[in-house]
Structures are given as C-alpha cells and as structure tokens.
Amino acid sequence: MHLSQLFEIRADPAAGVYLSLTRRCPLHCAHCSTRSTPHAEQHSAEPFLRLVASFRPEQRPQVVSLTGGEPLLRPRLVEQLAVSAAASGASTMLLSGMFFAASGRTPPAIRRAFEPLDHVSASIDRFHEREVPRRAVIDLLRSLLEDGKQVSVHLGGEAAGDPYLDRVVGEIRRELDDRCPIYVALVAPVGRAAEWMEAPESDGDVLAEPCRLASWPVVSFDGTVVQCASQAALEGPTPEHLRLGHAAVDDWAVIARRARRSPMLRAIRTFGPRWLAHWDGDGACAGYCESCLGLAGHAGLDRRVEELMRRPAIGLIERHAAEARPGAGEWVQPARFAHLLELGRTAVVA
C-alpha cells in the first residue's frame, strides 16, 4: 500500500489501527512524543497477537500500523503480526527510527521482519540524525526498494520555512529517484518536545471543528484500546468516552463497532470537542485536546449526546462532516510539501 493511499483513509473510522508494540527505544531524541527510553515499559505480546488473530476477511481494518517506541526492538512480534494480518487481507505498515542502520548491516531477525510487511517507513529529522546518519537510512531504503518493498520517509522539521526540510527532501528525491514518498510534518510540543518548545496559542473563536484524530483505534503499550491518536489521551488517565476496550479481551469486530457507533465519538468527529463542551454549558474555550479530555467532567453528558445524535437532522450534518474529511494532502503541514506524498505512486499496482 502506497503512503498516499494510507492517508486517503486516515480519517475513516476504523479503516486502520495503530499497534504501539513497545515504549522502548535505543535512541534518545529530544522531540520524542512518547518519551521513549531504552528501558521503558514493554508488555506481553499476547494482546496484540490476539487482536490481529481476530481479523476476518469481512471484518478487518484495511491497514495495521506498527509503531512504538521502536517496534523493530520486537522483530519476531512484527513478523508474526504482519503474517497474521495478511491472512485476513489487511496490509501492514511499520514506522521505525532505523536504529540499526548506522552499523551498515541489517540484523537477520529484522530482515525476516521486513519480509511480510507491505510498507516500511523511516523517520528522518535533526534529532534522529544525531544517532543514525541520514545517508545510512537512505541506503537502507534503497535496498528495500530494490527488493520490491513499498517505502516512505516521515520527515520532521521545526518550522514551515525550515531550510533543513528543503535540503533533505532534495536529497531523498535525488538519491531514491522519486520512488520514495515523503510525509513532511512539523515537530509538535508533545512528549519531550514540550520541555523546550512553546505550545501554539489556542484559537478561542473556533468552536465547531471536527476531530480528525478520533478515527483509527490505537492499541497502547499495555493493550488498552483508545479512539484517539493524541499522546495526551494515550498517556492517561484516558477518559471513558475515548476508551474502546482492551486487546486482551475484545476482538476487532467489537472494537470497530464501538469506534464507529459510539454517539460520543460520532459527535466528536462531527462537531469537535470544543463545540460539545460549549453546547453542554461550558462557556470557557480551552485548547482543542484539553476540551476533549475535559468532557469526562460533564456528568450525564453521554446521555445528552446520545439524545442529540438521535435527532433526524443530525444525520445530515454527520454525513456532510464525513464527506468533508481531509484528503491525503491535507494531513501535510506545511502544505507546500503535500505533493511529496504521491512520489512513486505510478509504480503501485494495488
């Protein structure tokens, strides 16, 4: 599956699922959103294996995204999950900091993990480059391309006009012959980056803003399933309206049904959390994610939202919001790099 195809379905509820296989990472990046360390928590593989084994051809996500921490610290688990997902028809994508690339060789266990994966994406930014040379990562991606693997780069910068972004984009395009799509994103003040980066000012005038992060379920490090890709929700305490269950006891059919049908989640995807907080009598307009987490303090809100979402006119609004979900390029900030998602797509058959 090509990178642009992944982003085309990124806002579709339960079209994909993130599996956070570990919080451990051998790198020490100053911008790490999960505050990963070499000795952070790592839980049993069983919940992840159990959930993916519950996929069926008629009831599965289109794509499984394997993340961390550094997922390739568990190469055998990556291999097992990719094989299991493929049996149901689901594609698999892995995002890695490529910690091993600096050595110039790929360990056998990691080579085996790459084989059943449909897509391998590498993180490149100033912080990763302090420990993993950019050239080594590009050479590894070239090798994977030659093996017929779909690859991409997640490229991070610190400002829209960051000259580092233009320099690295040019090098990747030149070295990989425009066969490697690039997703450019700006570092956010989340995790360790919050210690040195200022948070942007909240736009207090915008209330109705549908949430694009409440789409794909995220299986956290301990198996808890959360309907939010925000690190604030994953670190907890996770409010009940964002909790979908646990991979150790709930199968994919249950998780997907809750993700798609929950009145609260439908309302968050349709109106956004700030509108809901205001509608329910909270005159103050907090930050976007803060408003969502704060909904947990609204006693009886679940019942009121369920009544709201049953109103006949709401169905029309909900359909309109669904049709207005962001396309692939709209996920890219700065927008001037949106076209890079399409690099190499002409060579993709499916």
- Is 184 among the domain residues? yes
Paired strand residues for 95:
121
Across the range 276-291, mean pLDDT stands at: 81
How many domains is the chain built from? 1
Note whether residue 238 is domain-resident: no
- What gap in Å lies between CA 23 and CA 21, rounded to an integer? 7
217 contacts 259 by C-beta, under 8 angstroms: yes
pLDDT at position 78 is 98
Determine the structural domain holding residue 209 and report its residue range.
3-213+326-347
Question: Taking 90 as the threshold, does the pLDDT of residue 236 lie above it?
Answer: no
101: phi then psi, degrees, rounded to nearest 5: -65, -30
Reply yes or no on whether the pLDDT at 208 is more than 70: yes
* CA angle, 124 then 326 then 17, to 5°: 65
Q: Is residue 241 included in any domain, yes or no? A: no
Residues 20, 22, 26, 29, CA torsion sign? positive
Instruction: Give helix 134-146 / helix 163-175 axis angle, nearest 10°.
Output: 30
Residue at 171: amino acid letter: E
Looking at every residue in the chain, the average pLDDT score rounds to 93
Q: Which residue has the tokens 């959360």?
A: 226
Q: Give the β-pairing of 224-226 and 218-219.
A: antiparallel
**Structural domain contains residue 234:** no
Q: Is the pLDDT of residue 265 over 70?
A: yes
Q: Is residue 271 part of a domain?
A: no
What CATH number does the domain containing 333 carry? 3.20.20.70
Q: Distances in Å between the alpha carbon of 10 and those of 15, 17, 332, 350? A: 7, 10, 12, 17
Instruction: Let me know: does 122 contact 137? Beta carbons within 8 Å.
Output: yes
| Token couple for 258 | 């809750």
pLDDT for 224 beyond 90 = yes
Of the chain, the end-to-end C-alpha distance in Å amounts to: 7
88 pLDDT exceeds 50?
yes
Q: Are 18 and 67 in contact (CB under 8 A)?
A: yes
Residue 220: inside a domain: no
What is the pTM for the complete model shown?
A: 0.94
| Contact predicate 201/193, CB 8 Å | no
Residue 268 domain-assigned (yes or no): no
Q: What percent of the chain is predicted at pLDDT more than 70?
A: 96
Cross-strand pairs, 124: 155
Tokens of 28: 């020490």
Judge residue 196's burial from the number of C-beta atoms within 10 Å of its C-beta, 0-12 exposed, 13-18 middle, 19 or more buried: exposed
330 occurs within a structural domain: yes
Q: Which of 183-192, 199-208, 293-302 has the lowest mean pLDDT?
A: 199-208
Report whether pLDDT(46) > 70. yes
Query: So what's the pLDDT on residue 348?
Result: 45
Q: Which residue has the higher pLDDT, 1 or 145?
A: 145
- The pLDDT of residue 347 is above 90: no
Residue 118 has pLDDT above 80, yes or no: yes
Structure tokens at 227: 């309907």
